[in-house]
Chains A and B, each alone.
Chain A
Amino acid sequence: MIEVQHISKSFKDVKVLDDICAIFQEGKVNFTIGKSGSGKTVLLKSIVGLHEIDEGKILFHNRDFTHMDLKQRKEIRKEIGMVFQGGALFDSATLEENVMFPLKMFSSMTYDECRERANFCLQRVQVINKNHLYPAEISGGMQKRVAIARAIALNPKYLFCDEPNSGLDPITSIVIDNLIKEIILEFNITAVINTHDMNSVMEIADNIIFINQGKKWWQGNKEEIWRTDNAELNDLIFASELTKKLKKFYI
């Protein structure tokens, strides 16, 4: 379980996160949703320590990440996998080397064992016979899948994904969603996913947190989201005429 308690973050005079409290449930798919500029990515980066928060606490299984020194944080980070918006694969390394990288750095495995594990992870995300290719030689969807493979290589307890479906077609988005859900169930990972994609939310979310203007406005599950009377959340989820009709039909 990941718990954020009253966290705030400002950049110069702009308050991006304002007193956010939330619990990301263990072994579940937790989504943070919100408009562009609402503070989702800053929240995600603050949780993993890429941004230092101004106030509040972040607890990973009751371990206070906020007040840890670099060495202690390093231990927690070995339990974290992250999939970035653009994949963030290393350009100068092949797909196999990308997945092997965390294994070589932080496991006691031999080279052959690392390679075997990397191949297992790549096969798990359905990237087969492409180990020797470089990130620039594959599609965006495949890059995301390799990024997921790299993120799960060290058997993390926590998986963070920043807009895993951005720039992907609807079919590939569904493939990525299902892959994330399967992996989370298979390895009992706690996932925190940022997204704009309401299809993903409706497909695989267990717990949803709605962030607006740097504050937490709503928390619930995908059944509750249909019936919410929160105006801002309704505007976001049911933005198009089609989704408005769908809501009426559903209710």
Chain B
Amino acid sequence: MSFYNFFYYIGRYFILMRRVVSKPDDSKQYFANVSREIVVIGYNSISIVAIISFFMGAVLTLQTAYNMTNPLYPDYLIGLGTRDSIFLEFSSTIVGLILAGKVGSNIASEIGTMRVTQQIDALEIMGVNSANFLILPKITAAICTFPVLCIVSMIVGISGGWAAGELSGEVPTSQFVYGIQYMFIPYYILYSLIKITVFGVIITSISSYFGYFTDGGALEVGRSSTKAVVNSTLVILIFNLILTSVLL
């Protein structure tokens, strides 16, 4: 991609976003669409987020325990390490990357299919702002549901860590619970929620962008879907760095 193309795509993204953030043509229809997207984007992602979080929490506990074999380290540090890893990075960034794969590809292929089957043209002909109609509900739904998914991930991740510690005998429950309470900084949760909200906007807007500008047939829909996931992932990683340096 040439330097010129890079600015062309960035410019086109912001022009699209300007159309997206205008007032919806019909507020009733808009809220109906947001409700539908909350189910598709948020509710349908709970199980995958919970499963991955449980096992990642378990692995984090076992790895932390493995690295703390020194008898001078108290056991509760395992709980503390697991908590901080989950709260600071896993529940926001890793869950964000997982959702970029699941939600991002879904959005890009849905909108891309609508583009190649001329459903978007049909909306435009009716006088509907198609960008606003299709994309804004998805962004709104992500802003509403991603923080909830982040909290679910935190709770389930900690539970997975506790279960692994208890079942393997690496850390007793009392020590683990003491560890997750020790020097707890509530701001970490806010930091994580801010990050995942930003990632939600990134995932839905970038995926919608690639879907919206799909040009061609079924093969292009697949390519758009891949581009959406790859680019969302890259932008998430960049913003993770920026947000971490700004917020912490």
Contact = CB atoms under 8 A, between A and B. Distances in A.
Contact of B125 (A82, A85, A89, A105): A82
A50 B121 contact: yes
B178 to A, nearest CB: 50
A45 B121 CA distance: 9
A160 B121 CA distance: 13
B29 A88 contact: no
Nearest to A83: B122
Interface centre among B113, B117, B125, B128 (most CB of A within 10 A): B125
A36 to B, nearest CB: 16
A140 interface: no
Interface centre among B114, B118, B126 (most CB of A within 10 A): B126
A73 B125 CA distance: 10
Nearest to B126: A102
A86 interface: yes
A88 B121 contact: yes
Interface string A69-90: 0000111011011101110111
Interface residues of B, number: 16
A249 interface: no
Given A105-B25, A105-B26, A84 B122 contact: yes
A72 B125 CA distance: 13
Given A77-B127, A78-B127, A80-B125, A104 B26 contact: yes
Contacts of A88: 117-119, 121-122
Interface residues on A, range: 20 to 34
Interface in A42-59: 45, 48-50
B124 interface: yes
Contacts of A74: 127
Contacts of B125: 48, 50, 77, 80-82, 160
Contact of B126 (A77, A85, A89, A91): A77
Given A74-B127, A77-B126, A84 B26 contact: no
A20 B125 CA distance: 22
A106 interface: yes
Nearest to A82: B125
Interface in B171-199: none
Given A78-B127, A80-B125, A91 B119 contact: yes
A90 B119 contact: yes
A85 B28 CA distance: 30
Contacts of B124: 49-50, 77
A14 to B, nearest CB: 15
A249 to B, nearest CB: 40
Nearest to B128: A105
A75 to B, nearest CB: 8
Contacts of B28: 104
A82 B93 CA distance: 45
A77 B130 CA distance: 13
A195 to B, nearest CB: 17
A73 B127 CA distance: 8
Contacts of B126: 77-78, 101-102, 105-106
A86 B127 contact: no
Interface of B: 25-26, 28-29, 113-114, 117-119, 121-122, 124-128
19 contacts: A49-B124, A75-B127, A77-B125, A77-B127, A78-B127, A82-B121, A82-B122, A84-B121, A84-B122, A88-B119, A89-B119, A104-B26, A104-B29, A105-B25, A105-B29, A105-B127, A106-B25, A106-B126, A160-B125
Given A50-B125, A77-B125, 12 more contacts: A49-B124, A73-B127, A74-B127, A75-B127, A77-B124, A77-B127, A84-B122, A86-B117, A104-B26, A104-B28, A105-B126, A106-B25
